[in-house]
Every structure is written in structure tokens, then in C-alpha cells.
A and B are shown apart, each in its own frame.
Chain A
Amino acid sequence: MSVPNAQRQIDMLTKMLRIREFEERVKRTFTDHPGVIRGHTHLADGAEASIVGSLSHFKKGDAALATYRCHGYPIALGTDTKAMMAEILGRVDGLCKGLGGSMHLTDVKKGFLGTSGIVGAGIPHAAGAAWAAQIRKKREVVFCFFGDGASKQGAFAETLNIASLWKLPVIFVMENNGYNVVTTSAQEDANAAAGQPLSIKAKSFAMPGVTVDGTDPLAVAAAVGKAVRRARRGDGPTLVESKVYRLSAHGNIIAPPGVPLHYPEHEAITVFGKREEYEAALRGDPVPRFRGILVQNGTLTAAAADAITQKVVAEMEAAVKFAVASPYPKLESALDHVYA
């Protein structure tokens, strides 16, 4: 196992910051520009280290698929954040021409094949793409991201069984953020209730399962790296449980038209009254923590870290400005792309 070199670690921090600052802008847009974001958005704050650590192994020709909580992955893969923000605002310059929105970001050119709004539905899509990779025999792999809640849908069990049986080159990255909307894992998962790591589910499907601290990008990179090497060798899939803490509520409030949308407080506080748990998670925020580690161990100076942050903030503010200025698509474009 090789630890990423200094420059790669700085790149990882930069990507984590870009995801965080992008999503901060999404959040702020609800108050800065009321009404421009519709429907439901879901943020990845708290999972940046897991996303970036996992995708640090992504090579050209690989593919990634995810769920509706999908802003982080394309940023890590290099998607234009202006096009992403324009998509979230439903504008003509959007990544998906305003037809998909926040929950369905897709960037095929970057290998980000698609996102389903149904928690477990994308898991078999990833396995199908992995079958394609297996047939092509170019040692390409597929990264499949989903949440702990999805592991209770049938799609999870069905797909892990076939993926293991067929030795498909897929890495199942289960981001366990502790909550399924307002339900805790222990309330709905037999393994969690029994005090077991969720990666134990891999045993049922005769594949390796590993639980990793998803707030540490280097730990994630090490665990996923092992899974990626196994997949590229043709030995089959791995289930990686990446333990993170979702730092925002599940999504913005669900409300009918006319009610201003915003992000409420986290369910740990609003539903369970566990303010201490939430504040402890905030203290463990992976983004400032990784920055602190890199500054402390001399990988980069505080001034250099600040400079990166400033550049990232400028990028994301430009993305908002671009998106707000982008016009709505032509009405008839609603009828495009129904059929190929």
C-alpha cells in the first residue's frame, strides 16, 4: 500500500474544499437567491474525504455511479462546477440541460454515468457497467456509491450476489452516515442493532467487506485502493463501509410551492435531541481536519492552504453568478431526449 505523495494529498484537500464550498453555495443560494433552487437537494458535507479518497483511484475508462446525493463525485472527477450549479438552478447551461437537476447530475465525459433518485436502484446499474468492463478486458473498474439505507433494498442483495458470483470489477462504497432521513441505522438494520459493522453483509455474498473511517481520506484511499486492485485483477467486488457523519439535514425542507426553502437543523437535533452527538461530529469535520493535518505535518503551509481556499471560494462564487445569469431553457426543450 502506497501513501499518496505530498502533491496528491494537496490535490485531495483541494477537491474536498471544492466539494464543501460548492455545497455551501448551494445552501446559501436558498437565502441569497430565494426561489432559484426548486425541489430537493442533498448535500455531501461530511462525506468529502470518503468521496475524494475513493475516487483517488479513478482512472480514465473507469466509471462511477451514485445516488441523488451526487454533488461531490463529479467535482472529484473534474466536472465543470459552473455547469453543475446551472443544472441545480434548472438553466440552459446546466450539465443536463436543466432536465435532471440536483438529484440526477451526470457527466459521461468524466465517467460519471448516472445517478438514481431511488436509493438502491443505481447499485445494479453499476454492476451492469462492470459487466461491460469485464467483457472489454481493459482492467477498468466501476465505483458504486450509495448510502447505508440502500443496503436494505432488494437491489443491494440481488446485485452483490451476482457481482460476487460473476467476479465483476465493481467497488461497492457504502457511505454509512448514520441516518436514513430521520431513522437511525440501529432502528432499521439488524447488523447495526446487533452492534456489527455493516460491512459484515459482504460475508453473505462471499466477498471481502471492510469498514473504514470515512472522514480520513488517506484511510479511505487505502481501503478502496485494495478493493480497486482486487477488481482490476479480476478477483471480483468488495464492499467498503465508509463511516461518515452527514453534517447537514437529509435535504432542504420539503414544502409546497410558495414556502421558502432552506436547510433545517440536523435530524440528530430536531428529531432525537442529540445536540452533543452533532456537535462532536462537527468537531470531527473532515475538511478542516485534513487541512490541519497537512499544515501540521508540513505538507503545505497555512498560507498556501488559505490561498487554495480563496481560489476555491472564488470558483464557487463564479459558479453561482454564472448559474443565476444563465437563462432558462427554451420551453420546447422539455420534449428533447425522451428517445434517442
Chain B
Amino acid sequence: MAQLPYIAAIDAGIHQEMRRDPSVLYFGQNLATTENHEFVAAYGHDRVRVTPISETAEIGMAIGAAMAGFRPVVELYMAEFMLVAMDQVLNEAPKFRYMSGGQVKVPLVLKAGFGFACGWAGQHTGSLTALFMGVPGLKVVVPSTAADAKGLMATSIRDDNPVVFMHHYLLTLEHGEVPDGEHLVPFGQAAIRRTGGDVTLVATGWMVNRALAAAEALAKEGIQAEVIDPRTVAPLDLDTILKSVAKTGRLVVVDQAPRHATVGGIIAADVVEHGFESLRAPIIQVNARDTTVPYSEPLEAYVIPDEARICAAVRKVCKTAR
């Protein structure tokens, strides 16, 4: 085990796979501009390349290279940059296998940072995860710890499908224990970050930390929250969530996106459909307020879900429980 920052753990996952599999490619903007760049030095220019600011071509070329037998990882930096190329992300990559009747596979990773709520204003702060999770053919990964960042990146690269790898920018320098050597985290297995019997909190990305902080505060009031981090939202480990709700009878979903664009809303709908009899109180969603993320610091803090709002939601479901 080594203490690594989240961002270095992602790189460790890419290194792990590039070392073992010569078909893994890594390319994107502002990457590998000099010969001594660590990935160029290790794997050469055939496999590691800088691109112009051409998201449609980058993602489209990843699709073509994938269909031709390679496993490209596209460095997109900001999740919003995928919006420039949404046809390739939503309408090309996830559909070629299907439309060809299973003749091709499209193993690629779209590595994109998101949620940079630290003064980046309206266009670099979005939490777009839910936008991708409903697209058949895409897998969507949201690591919240350094260990998962490495292990989920490695699994993303080995997966035979297009994977949107959403790393949270506010976790960039968060350190954590990361297993040395080969490390893989399976898709579709949620992590229970904290156990508790009174309420289930489900959160992804940076919101996992906020949910955990809220859980600690609530424990002082005698409320024990179970905090679940799905880790991958497509596939989604609904079973772990349903089992927890069966135990607690209460669910609060926390999501950094505005109300109608959340992973949490989809989880809430699934729990209502499949776990209604377990629920002792209405589900509450704690989301970003319905607005563009503002620049000014207090306004930004007001918009993004915080510990106080999570705690208030938990107190409410505990009070209204049947």
C-alpha cells in the first residue's frame, strides 16, 4: 500500500494497463508535448500522443482505433469538453456494437474531470454523470477514493465497452491508501463507506465525502447513517442499496447535479419501484439548486449540496418515519 493522491492513482491505473497490454493508447490535449513526458518516455509516440483541440476527432478516432483492435484512453480534462462531441459520445461509441449485430467492439475510456466547484463558474463545474448513465452501451464510472481511482481506471481499460470515467476535480489531491501492483475494482459493486441502521445515504464522487461528514455529525445526535458509494452508476449495484434500505427504511440521495439531472433521482425511482415496502419515510433528494453554478464563492457554496443540507434531510426522514 502506498499513500497516493487521487490523480496519481488514476495515472497508476493507466500505467498498470499500458505496461501489460501494448494495445492500450493514451492521447488527448496538452498531453505528451515533450519527449520526457512520463507516458511518452515509457510507451513511445505510437501509443501516446498530443492532439489539437478537436474533441469530435479525438473521441471519434478513439472509436475507430477501438474497432480496429486497440484500447484508447482519451484525456478530455473537463467533462464539459465532451459536450463539444456529444454525437460521438452518446450516438456513435455506444451504438456501433449493437448496430453491427455484435460484429465490432468499442473498448475505450473517456477520462473526464467534473464538478470543479471552486470558482470555475458556469461552464467547467457541471456534474454530468446522469447524462451518460441512461445510454445503453455506455458504462459510467465515478471513483471517490484514490484506491478506486486506480482500480476502476484499470477495469475501465480492460472493459470491452466504451466507458465514461468521471473523476471528481475536487478530489484531485485527496490522498488515500492505494494497493501496489495489479489492482482492479469490479464494475457494478457498490462500496459501503460507513455502516448504520437508521438511514441510507447514497452519494457519488465528492459528495461521498460530504455524506460521510454529515454521517459523523448525525452520529453525535444518535442517528446512524449508512453511506453507500455506487462507484459505477452504469452498471448500477441496486441490490446493495435495496438491502441497505431494507435495513434502514429511509433513503436520502445526495447528488451534485441539479434536481432533474441526477443519478440520485434515478436511484430513488428504482428504490420506490423495487423497495417500496421497505420505506418508512419519503425519499429525499439533496441536489444542487436548479441553476448554473455561480462564480462568487458564497453563492457557489449556497448552490452545491453541503453537510448542513444533508443533515437536515436526514433529520426530516427520521422524523417523518412511519
User: Looking across the interface, which residue of chain B has its beta carbon closest to that of A127?
Assistant: B61
Q: How far is the CA of A336 from the CA of B101 in the complex (A)?
A: 8
B65 x A131 contact (CB < 8 A):
yes
Q: Within the complex, what minimum Cβ distance (angstroms) separates A8 from chain B? A: 28
User: Looking across the interface, which residue of chain B has its beta carbon closest to that of A95?
Assistant: B101
A118 x B61 contact (CB < 8 A):
no
The reply to whether the CB of B205 lies closer than 8 angstroms to some CB of chain A is no
Q: Within the complex, what minimum Cβ distance (angstroms) separates A60 from chain B? A: 14
What residues on A are CB-neighbors of B70 within 8 Å?
A: 131-132, 135
The reply to whether the CB of A173 lies closer than 8 angstroms to some CB of chain B is no
B64 x A130 contact (CB < 8 A):
yes
B65 x A337 contact (CB < 8 A):
no
Q: How far is the CA of A253 from the CA of B148 in the complex (A)?
A: 52
Q: How far is the CA of A107 from the CA of B102 in the complex (A)?
A: 11
Of the candidate stretches A159-167, A213-221, A268-276, the one touching chain B is A159-167
B60 x A128 contact (CB < 8 A):
yes
Q: How far is the CA of A317 from the CA of B97 in the complex (A)?
A: 30
Of the candidate stretches B103-111, B207-215, B222-230, B238-246, the one touching chain A is B103-111
Q: How far is the CA of A94 from the CA of B309 in the complex (A)?
A: 55
User: Looking across the interface, which residue of chain A has its beta carbon closest to that of B91?
Assistant: A118
B63 x A128 contact (CB < 8 A):
yes
| Cross-interface CB contact of B65 among A94, A118, A128, cutoff 8 Å | A128
Q: How far is the CA of A159 from the CA of B60 in the complex (A)?
A: 9
What residues on B are CB-neighbors of A166 within 8 Å?
A: 49
The reply to whether the CB of B92 lies closer than 8 angstroms to some CB of chain A is yes
User: Looking across the interface, which residue of chain A has its beta carbon closest to that of B103?
Assistant: A108
Knowing A99-B98, A99-B101, A118-B87, say if A124 contacts B69 (CB, 8 Å).
no
Interface centre among A97, A122, A338 (most CB of B within 10 A): A338
B47 x A135 contact (CB < 8 A):
yes
B65 x A161 contact (CB < 8 A):
no
B104 x A124 contact (CB < 8 A):
no
B68 x A63 contact (CB < 8 A):
yes
User: Looking across the interface, which residue of chain A has its beta carbon closest to that of B160?
Assistant: A340
B101 x A129 contact (CB < 8 A):
no
The main secondary structure of chain B at its interface with chain A is mixed
A97 x B65 contact (CB < 8 A):
no
A94-137 vs B, Cβ < 8 Å mask (1 yes, 0 no): 11111110001011100001101010011111111111111100
A114 x B61 contact (CB < 8 A):
no
A121 x B60 contact (CB < 8 A):
yes
B52 x A128 contact (CB < 8 A):
no
Segment 100-135 of B: residues with Cβ below 8 Å from A: 100-107
Q: How far is the CA of A208 from the CA of B166 in the complex (A)?
A: 40
Residues of B in contact, count (CB < 8 Å) = 44
| Cross-interface CB contact of B51 among A100, A130, A162, cutoff 8 Å | A162
A94 x B57 contact (CB < 8 A):
no
The reply to whether the CB of A158 lies closer than 8 angstroms to some CB of chain B is yes
A108 x B104 contact (CB < 8 A):
yes
A128 x B64 contact (CB < 8 A):
yes
Segment 196-228 of A: residues with Cβ below 8 Å from B: none
Interface size classification for chain A: 35 or more
Q: Within the complex, what minimum Cβ distance (angstroms) separates A167 from chain B? A: 12
| Cross-interface CB contact of B61 among A108, A124, A135, cutoff 8 Å | A124
Q: How far is the CA of A94 from the CA of B102 in the complex (A)?
A: 12
A159 x B57 contact (CB < 8 A):
yes
B99 x A96 contact (CB < 8 A):
yes
Interface centre among B98, B104, B161 (most CB of A within 10 A): B98
Q: How far is the CA of A97 from the CA of B99 in the complex (A)?
A: 9
B23-36 vs A, Cβ < 8 Å mask (1 yes, 0 no): 00100000000000
B101 x A114 contact (CB < 8 A):
no
User: Looking across the interface, which residue of chain B has its beta carbon closest to that of A339?
Assistant: B161
| Cross-interface CB contact of A337 among B67, B101, B107, cutoff 8 Å | B101
Q: Within the complex, what minimum Cβ distance (angstroms) separates B182 from chain A? A: 22
What residues on A are CB-neighbors of B46 within 8 Å?
A: 134-135
Q: How far is the CA of A309 from the CA of B25 in the complex (A)?
A: 48
A129 x B57 contact (CB < 8 A):
no
| Cross-interface CB contact of A100 among B67, B72, B101, B160, cutoff 8 Å | B101
What residues on B are CB-neighbors of A161 within 8 Å?
A: 52, 54, 57
| Cross-interface CB contact of A133 among B25, B51, B68, B137, cutoff 8 Å | B68
The reply to whether the CB of B203 lies closer than 8 angstroms to some CB of chain A is no
A155 x B51 contact (CB < 8 A):
no
Knowing A121-B87, A121-B92, say if A132 contacts B64 (CB, 8 Å).
yes
Q: How far is the CA of A124 from the CA of B60 in the complex (A)?
A: 5
B102 x A337 contact (CB < 8 A):
yes
The reply to whether the CB of B284 lies closer than 8 angstroms to some CB of chain A is no
A129 x B65 contact (CB < 8 A):
yes
B64 x A116 contact (CB < 8 A):
no
A100 x B64 contact (CB < 8 A):
no
B57 x A162 contact (CB < 8 A):
yes
| Cross-interface CB contact of B104 among A106, A132, A135, cutoff 8 Å | A106
What residues on A are CB-neighbors of B200 within 8 Å?
A: none
The reply to whether the CB of B96 lies closer than 8 angstroms to some CB of chain A is yes
| Cross-interface CB contact of A162 among B52, B59, B106, B160, cutoff 8 Å | B52
Q: Within the complex, what minimum Cβ distance (angstroms) separates B36 from chain A? A: 21
What residues on A are CB-neighbors of B105 within 8 Å?
A: 340
18 contacts between A and B (CB under 8 A): A96-B100, A104-B99, A106-B101, A106-B103, A114-B67, A114-B100, A124-B61, A124-B88, A128-B64, A128-B67, A128-B68, A129-B65, A131-B65, A132-B69, A134-B46, A159-B60, A338-B97, A340-B160
Instruction: Known A-B contacts: A99-B101, A114-B99, A339-B97. Give 4 more (CB < 8 A).
Output: A106-B101, A114-B100, A125-B60, A132-B65
Query: What are the 4 A-B residue pairs with the smallest beta carbon separation, nearest first?
Result: A128-B64, A124-B60, A128-B61, A96-B101
| Residues of B participating in the A interface, judged by any CB pair closer than 8 Å | 25, 46-47, 49, 51-52, 54, 56-70, 72, 87-88, 91-92, 96-107, 136-137, 139, 160-161
